Amino acid sequence: MDLYQEIILQHSKFPKNFKKLGDYNFCSEGYNPLCGDKITIYVSEKEKKVKDVSFEGSGCAISIASASILSEILKEKSLDKSKNIYDSFLNLINHNQSNFSDLTEKETSMLNAFSEISKFPMRTKCATLSWSTFNAALKNIKNFNTESLK
Amino acid sequence: MNINEIKKQFPIFEKKIKGKQLVYLDSANSSQKPKPVIDSLNQFYLYEFANVGRGIYQLAANASDKYEKSRENLKSFFNTTKDYEIIFTKNSTESLNLVASCFGEKFLKEGDEVISTELEHHANYVPWHFLRKRKKIQIKFIPIDDNGNLQIDKLKDLITNKTKMIAVTHMSNVTGTVVNLKKIKEIADKHKIPICVDGTQGAAHLDVSIKDLDCDFYAFSGHKMYGPTGIGGLIIKYKWLEAFDPFLGGGGMIEFVSKEDVGYAKGVWKFEAGTMPTAEVISLNESIHFINKIGKKNIIKHEEDLKNFAIDELKKNNSIKFVALPDDQGSVFSFNIQDIHSHDVSTIFDQEGVAVRGGHHCCQILHDRLGINSSIRVSLGVYNDKEDIHILCNAIKKCQSIFKK
């Protein structure tokens, strides 16, 4: 089954940056009431740049792997760049269009591991939960709910 | 009882899911529909349609007649007595909202108490929560033990002179726990407390005799009983039917209307405002006929045997953790595969044609009590067989191989 790429399985079993940052200035708790997944994102931002990012929470393999990969990729990126990656990631998840630019090959392949998700419409929110929560954190929104977008 | 013959009556099983046969293990969510039920909807809309209780022409009279016949057959099906009526509603949820709203409005005041249980579906909790907000009542919970058994002996300690209602399920939609309603009734009777039963699962999977249960309210959904969506009912003691004010206002539920006042219709009509899902009421009668033809006791025996077979098969796999295995269990059980989230399991099952539900199944209090976020639920129907269970077991192995567990 192509959905569960090796990268996704690895990140779900051994998530990176799975902790609360000691020094963060933005944080938000994302929640998907339909499945109960809960991800809290911590961001340390300085001079319009993501100095560090981490997460805590519980969820399925897709949502945990997505949060782990987010934390790997957005670290040290400018806020503008983060926004571009977020938009491109949503495009990948919802329309299976991969148009990442200015990323390393490793980063691109981590994100492209989610390309199959578009074939599973019931699971797209698993992949986007942490990203939407990251976005909410930077807007100072303390709680993000996937179903309040409707 | 020939399951192959029964299965053939359900057209959906002719359909392939991703090239595989459909293994439908989600009947607690909603059951599939046999052809006679679907045909009866067609028949009514094609050749018999008219609104009920209004026109005096032949078509309307016939439709009204069929509508009421369905109500009468449901009374026999549930073995009610003359002390009971059946109000048609959208489903159990609406029935339970009707009880909470009408009872709460008239009989509850600040500080009063409703006793619920840790097993309840949100449908028999949230309507009472509304009253907690609106009327400042309290809600208490009969606890379960770690095996999912309801600890009815603790009910006595929860009852005070402010307890006004016991709201309890007949059968849990997660653990399959069958609640000993007679025991609850014995305790409730000593304090003259009415009982509101969520019969959503019970109506479809247990032998229900309202005469024996002697409860005040029993809510059911047609779509879980091989019937259409959009129709359910509330079995209600006549004294409450008379005591309650109407739930919804509109056409059909009135006796007279003037600029100064409104008089309400008597009996069940007081609670059936507006045009009801007429075709669905008539079609529900067909689903009762379908169940009766096979025999409810035969269906229960078949589901019981298959559930026991399934649990034995799953127990062979050390990675399966059952949510709870209560002493008296209907045809539903839930589990998790160690270290694999229920939603990943559901997605992989789907690739194998296996339809189950993953999540908290509208029972967050129960999942919190058992210390888990979510689970996979297997719920059986008359059309399931051992082959379905073998395919389920293979799908579990597939999950383990993908996750290398």
Nearest Cα of chain A lies from the Cα of B337 at a distance, in angstroms, of: 12
Nearest CB partner across the interface for B341, out of A34, A59, A120:
A59
Specify the DSSP element, H or E, that contains A51.
strand A49-58
Q: How far apart (Å, rounded) are the C-alpha atoms in residues A80 and A78?
A: 5
Kindly tell me if the per-residue pLDDT of A149 is higher than 80.
Answer: no
| B183-234 residue pLDDT tens | 999 999 999 999 999 999 999 999 999 999 999 999 999 999 999 999 999 9
Q: How far apart (Å, rounded) are the C-alpha atoms in residues B231 and B220?
A: 9
Q: How many beta-carbon contacts under 8 Å exist across A and B?
A: 39
Nearest chain B residue (CA) to A126: B343
The SS3 assignment for B120 reads coil
Rg (CA), chain A: 14
Burial track B146-173 (b if 16+ CB lie within 10 A, e otherwise)? eebbbebeebeebbeeebbbbbbbbbbb
pLDDT at B405: 62
Residue of A5, A13, A60 to mutate when probing chain B, most B C-beta within 10 A: A60
Q: How far apart (Å, rounded) are the C-alpha atoms in residues B315 and B295?
A: 30
Cβ contacts of A119 on chain B, cutoff 8 Å: none
A59 within 8 A of A15, measured Cβ to Cβ? no
Question: Which of B362, B363, B393, B399 is the catalytic position?
Answer: B362
Q: How far apart (Å, rounded) are the C-alpha atoms in residues B59 and B48?
A: 6
Q: How far apart (Å, rounded) are the C-alpha atoms in residues B127 and B25?
A: 28
Cβ count near B273 (within 10 Å):
18
What is the number of alpha carbons within 13 Å of residue B187 lying toward its C-beta?
19
CA dihedral B45, B219, B177, B306 (to 10 degrees): -20
pLDDT at B388: 98
CA distances for B395 relative to B120, B135, B150, B347, B382, angstroms = 30, 49, 32, 11, 21
CA distances for B327 relative to B14, B178, B179, B181, B187, angstroms = 36, 9, 10, 15, 21
- In this structure, is the dihedral angle defined by the CA atoms of residues B364, B367, B368 and B373, taken in order, positive or negative? negative
Is residue B362 part of the annotated active site? The answer reads yes
Sheet of B138-142: strand order equals B84-89, B232-237, B217-221, B195-198, B163-169, B113-117, B138-142
What is the number of alpha carbons within 13 Å of residue B112 lying toward its C-beta?
20
Kindly tell me if the per-residue pLDDT of A99 is higher than 90.
Answer: no
B134 token code pair:
């609106």
> With a threshold of 0.80, does the pTM exceed it?
yes
Q: What does the pLDDT profile of chain B (405 residues) look like in tens digits?
A: 899 999 999 999 999 988 999 999 999 999 999 999 999 999 999 999 999 977 789 999 999 999 999 999 999 999 999 999 999 999 999 999 999 999 999 999 999 999 999 999 999 999 999 999 999 999 999 999 999 999 999 999 999 999 999 999 999 999 999 999 999 999 999 999 999 999 999 999 999 999 999 999 999 999 999 999 999 999 999 999 999 999 999 999 999 999 999 999 999 999 999 999 999 999 999 999 999 999 999 999 999 999 999 999 999 999 999 999 999 999 999 999 999 999 999 999 999 999 999 988 899 999 999 998 889 999 999 999 999 999 999 999 999 999 986
Average pLDDT, stretch A125-130?
A: 95
Kindly tell me if the per-residue pLDDT of A6 is higher than 50.
Answer: yes
Q: What distance separates the 2 farthest-apart alpha carbons in chain B?
A: 73
CB contact under 8 A, A126 and B343: yes
Kindly tell me if the per-residue pLDDT of A150 is higher than 60.
Answer: no
CB contact under 8 A, A35 and B347: no
Nearest chain A residue (CA) to B350: A120
Rg (CA), chain B: 22
Cβ count near B138 (within 10 Å):
16
Percent of residues, chain A, with pLDDT higher than 70 = 98
For residue A143, the cross-strand partners are: A29
Q: How far apart (Å, rounded) are the C-alpha atoms in residues A7 and B268?
A: 60
pLDDT at B229: 98
CB contact under 8 A, A61 and B348: no
